[in-house]
Copies of this chain bind each other. A is one copy, B any other.
Amino acid sequence: MDKSDILQKYCFYAHAPLAARQKFDRAATQVELNPGDFYFHEGDACTHVALVGNGSIRVYKAGESGREITLYHVRAGETCILTASCVLAGMSYPAAAVAESQTDAVIFPAPVFRDWVASMATVRDFVFQTLATRMADLMALVEEITFNKMDKRLAEYLCQRFENEGRPITVLHVTHEQIATELGSAREVVSRLLKEFERLGAIEVARGRIRLRNEATLRQFL
């Protein structure tokens, strides 16, 4: 996957006149991340903006106890808007980001990006759109953490994963630990709840694998 393949996924690029597209191409640097590679650490200065073309990046906060919570994922066609907002406000990253899978992306230097936001309405709209969405997502996350019980949150997570963005699947390859870091909980808590779901016949758990048995039962927790 090369630079323009990646950029092609972004409307402000795809619909831009040729001259503008060439400008983007020239400024873009392609990067490739392997699973586990950090895209940035908390507190890093912000020098680039990234557009993801492929794969997935997990943006998260880590507590001193070793627990973590995922804030959101950046997937194909999305910007890590955190980088954008930091670039535009000149602040350092308030969270960390690691690649979850093999990821292709392009990055732009901060000044170039700032310039485009100033001069191109399409880029600006794209940025505002994503910023507002992430902001709303974060608020929803706060709400979720504060008011919902773990069983409900876990069931929600599982349903979403089984749904797989419209292409339903019945088996997840994920460990209890991974789920815990996703939800900001502890592994033991997740294990016990999964066991409970299994007891009710909703799922079937095995090492590193969860199979959906009865979606309706699972949905009763929502």
Contacts and interface: CB of A to CB of B under 8 A. Distances in A.
B86 A132 contact: yes
A146 B145 contact: yes
A131 interface: yes
A140 B121 CA distance: 31
A142 B63 CA distance: 11
A67 B138 contact: no
User: Chain A: interface secondary structure?
Assistant: helix
A88 B134 contact: no
Nearest to A132: B89
Nearest to A91: B132
Contacts of A118: 121, 124
A71 interface: yes
Contact of A146 (B63, B124, B125, B140): B63
24 contacts: A61-B142, A61-B146, A63-B147, A67-B146, A67-B147, A69-B142, A71-B139, A85-B128, A85-B132, A88-B129, A89-B128, A91-B132, A94-B136, A94-B139, A94-B140, A95-B139, A124-B124, A138-B138, A138-B139, A138-B142, A141-B142, A142-B145, A142-B184, A147-B184
Interface of A: 61, 63-65, 67, 69, 71, 82, 85-86, 88-89, 91, 94-95, 117-118, 121, 124-125, 128-129, 131-136, 138-143, 145-148, 184
